[in-house]
């Protein structure tokens, strides 16, 4: 190897990584300085931001109290650092802390929790909807599932859903492997329930759940019960009856928490129908009364318009088809977007505004049929559509007449995975409803 080649090799081996590291440090310094608000004449607190990207998180985790004492001695009662992926100012001292605590919701806000009755809404609503779906759709009695057993089913369902779109590689620890293992846990519990139904002559509790009706329909057509098909159908019922409904119910809490005027209009409608009286005076909910709650139904529709639980649907082109001047070849995947269709629909004006009144006036059927499709459409419209609408209306009624609430992090950032949910799980502070509107 010649001298020039050795020099080039040395440069690549030692100098280039060093230059990249120095560049990263410089960019990190620029990033740290760029966080300063130019409209404020005051400087940032003293302190250091640590390593690029990692900040000083490792030092704090490993040294803990020693690290904090060293920082306090060096920089005083207010200093900057970079912890857990975010630039941070650490504050101590009675007067400094007083300024922060008295600035709640004016100067600062809680990110992951707060003093007082705080609830992470999304996981709690998911558990509630899961229990309802297990009871009404599959006929599971509360005594059949211990808290641990119920939690195991919830976790198995979440694991299965997380891995719905994994690569088709079935090896240990792959997404597909974990998803199939979770599905097997769910199927085992469902099969146990199906066999118990087959052994009974009459449904337990005097009513027939959706799974029981499905079994009777199959037998009434002279068909043999196929255990695998029943388990798949029951799993689909659970998915439609709990994951998507939990997403919609969480969005309802978010929108009503952000739009108190809408919540008050819901309460006025409940008051007119005798549903907002004292505990012993409230009219009982029934299907006829629920049908009369037109504005409440519009609130649910507007929630589903702005935040549909499922962002779209998947299909496969059975043959080459033409669409709006383009071809979609046979065998290609086709995704129809629910959220984008709502966004571009000419039927809706001021699309970014949460306005349930837009649904109070009937729209021409031809123009609105596929402009508003939170449950899909065509032959494969969501099988749980009516169940979801009734459940969400009951949920809204009980929520509006039971409590007031405040979103601790303000408007949530929503993510799809594959169901729409709030990234921060929607931490919320609930208080009892005074009954005054």
User: pLDDT at residue 372 above 90?
Assistant: no
Among 108, 141, 159, residue at a domain's last position: 108
Q: Report pTM.
A: 0.67
pLDDT at 261: 96
Give percent above pLDDT 70 in the chain.
74
What pLDDT is attached to residue 230?
Answer: 84
Give the number of domains in the chain.
Answer: 3
| Pair 62, 175 in one domain | no
Stretch 147-152: mean pLDDT, rounded? Answer: 67
User: Do both 103 and 169 map to the same domain?
Assistant: no
Give the pair of three-digit tokens for residue 232: 């798949």
Residue 253 pLDDT greater than 90, yes or no: yes
DSSP string, 150-201: HHHHHHHHHHHHHTTT--S--STTSHHHHHHHHHHHHHHHHHHHHHHHHH-S
Name the 3-class secondary structure at 80. strand
Q: Are residues 195 and 243 in the same domain?
A: yes
* Whether residue 287 sits in one domain with residue 214: yes
Identify the band that residue 113 occupies on the pLDDT scale cut at 50, 70 and 90: very low
Summary count for the chain: helices (H), strands (E) = 17, 11
Report how far residue 38's alpha carbon sits from residue 48's, in angstroms, rounded to the nearest whole number.
Answer: 20
Specify if 232 maps to a domain. yes
Tell me the C-alpha distance between 166 and 13, whole Å. Answer: 38
Give yes or no for residue 153 having a pLDDT over 90. no
Who contacts 215 (Cβ-Cβ below 8 Å, separation ≥6)?
194, 197, 198, 225, 230
The mean pLDDT of 142-160, rounded to a whole number, is: 68
Ligand-binding site membership of 339 (annotated): no
Domain that holds residue 310: 119-432
pLDDT at 19: 62
What's residue 419's pLDDT?
85
Antiparallel, parallel or unpaired: β 414-416 and 118-120: unpaired
- Asked if residue 151 belongs to a domain, the reply is yes
Which tokens belong to 280? 């012993």
pLDDT band with cut points at 50, 70 and 90 for residue 248: very high
- Is residue 60 a part of any domain in this protein? yes
For 371, phi then psi, to 5°, come to -90, -25
**Inside any domain, residue 114:** no
Listed ranges 50-59, 111-120, 206-215; the one with the highest mean pLDDT: 206-215
Q: Are residues 178 and 97 in the same domain?
A: no
Distance CA 297, CA 365 (A): 18
Overall size of the chain counted in residues: 437
pLDDT in tens, 396-437: 999 998 889 999 999 999 888 778 999 999 999 998 776 667
For residue 212, pLDDT over 70 is answered with: yes
Residue with tokens 């066999």: 195
Looking at the structure, do residues 101 and 206 belong to the same domain, yes or no?
no
Residues 308 and 415 in one domain: yes
Q: Are residues 381 and 424 in the same domain?
A: yes
Is residue 113, in this structure, part of any structural domain at all? no
**In this structure, is residue 437 part of a structural domain?**
no
- CA torsion 138-140-146-151 (nearest 10°) is 10
Q: What is the mean pLDDT of residues 318-342?
A: 80
Residues 67 and 162 in one domain: no
Question: Do residues 392 and 427 both lie within one domain?
Answer: yes
The reply to whether 162 and 13 lie within a common domain is no
Residue 115: its pLDDT value, please? 43
Q: How far apart are CA 175 and CA 163, in angstroms?
A: 5
Exposed e or buried b for every residue in 400-422, given b needs 16+ CB within 10 A? bbeebbebbbeebebeeeebbbb
- In this structure, of 5-14, 88-97, 303-312, the range with the lowest mean pLDDT score is 5-14
Percent of the chain scoring above 90 in pLDDT: 20
pLDDT interval class at 255 (50, 70, 90):
very high
DSSP letter assigned to residue 327: E
pLDDT band at 262 (very low <50, low <70, confident <90, very high): very high
Tell me, yes or no, whether 56 lies in a domain.
yes
Asked whether residue 83 falls in the same domain as residue 155, the answer is: no
Q: Considering the domain boundaries, does residue 215 fall inside one? A: yes
């Amino acid at each position: 190897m010649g001298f020039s080649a050795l020099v080039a090799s040395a440069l690549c081996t030692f100098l280039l990584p060093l230059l990249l590291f120095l560049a990263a440090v410089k960019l990190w310094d620029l990033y740290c300085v760029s966080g300063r608000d130019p409209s404020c004449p005051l400087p940032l607190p003293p302190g250091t931001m640590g390593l690029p990207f990692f900040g000083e998180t490792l030092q704090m985790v490993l040294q803990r109290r020693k690290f904090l004492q060293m920082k306090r001695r060096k920089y005083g009662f207010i200093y900057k650092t970079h912890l857990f992926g975010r630039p941070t100012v650490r504050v101590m001292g009675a007067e400094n802390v007083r300024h922060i605590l008295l600035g709640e919701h004016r100067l600062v806000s809680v990110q992951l929790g707060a003093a007082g009755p705080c609830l992470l809404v999304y996981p709690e609503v998911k558990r509630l909807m899961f229990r309802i779906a297990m009871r009404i759709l599959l006929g599971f009695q509360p005594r059949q599932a211990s808290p641990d057993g119920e939690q195991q089913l919830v976790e198995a369902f979440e694991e299965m859903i997380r891995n719905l779109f994994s690569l088709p590689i079935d090896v240990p620890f792959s997404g597909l492997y974990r998803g199939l293992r979770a599905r097997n846990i769910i199927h085992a519990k469902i099969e146990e329930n199906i066999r118990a139904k087959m052994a009974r002559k009459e449904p337990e509790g005097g009513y027939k759940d959706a799974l029981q009706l499905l079994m009777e329909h199959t037998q009434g057509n002279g068909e043999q019960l196929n255990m695998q098909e029943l388990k798949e159908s029951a799993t689909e019922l659970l998915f439609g009856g709990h994951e998507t409904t939990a997403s919609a119910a969480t969005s309802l809490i978010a929108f009503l928490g952000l739009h108190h005027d809408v919540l008050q209009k819901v309460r006025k409608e409940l008051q007119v129908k005798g549903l907002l009286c004292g505990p012993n005076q409230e009219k009982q909910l029934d299907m006829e009364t629920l049908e009369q709650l037109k504005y409440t139904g519009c609130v649910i529709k507007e929630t589903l318009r702005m935040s549909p639980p499922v962002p779209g649907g998947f299909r496969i082109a059975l043959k080459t088809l033409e669409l709006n001047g383009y071809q979609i070849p046979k065998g290609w995947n086709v995704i129809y977007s629910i959220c984008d269709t709502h966004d571009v629909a000419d039927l809706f004006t001021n699309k970014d505004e949460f306005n349930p009144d837009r649904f109070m006036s009937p729209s021409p059927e031809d123009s609105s049929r596929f402009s508003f499709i939170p449950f899909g459409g065509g032959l494969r419209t969501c099988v749980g559509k009516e169940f979801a609408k009734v459940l969400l209306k009951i949920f809204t009624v009980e929520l509006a007449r039971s409590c007031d609430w405040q979103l601790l992090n303000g408007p949530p950032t929503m993510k799809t995975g594959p169901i729409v949910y709030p990234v921060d799980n929607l931490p919320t502070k609930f208080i009892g409803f005074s009954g005054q509107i």
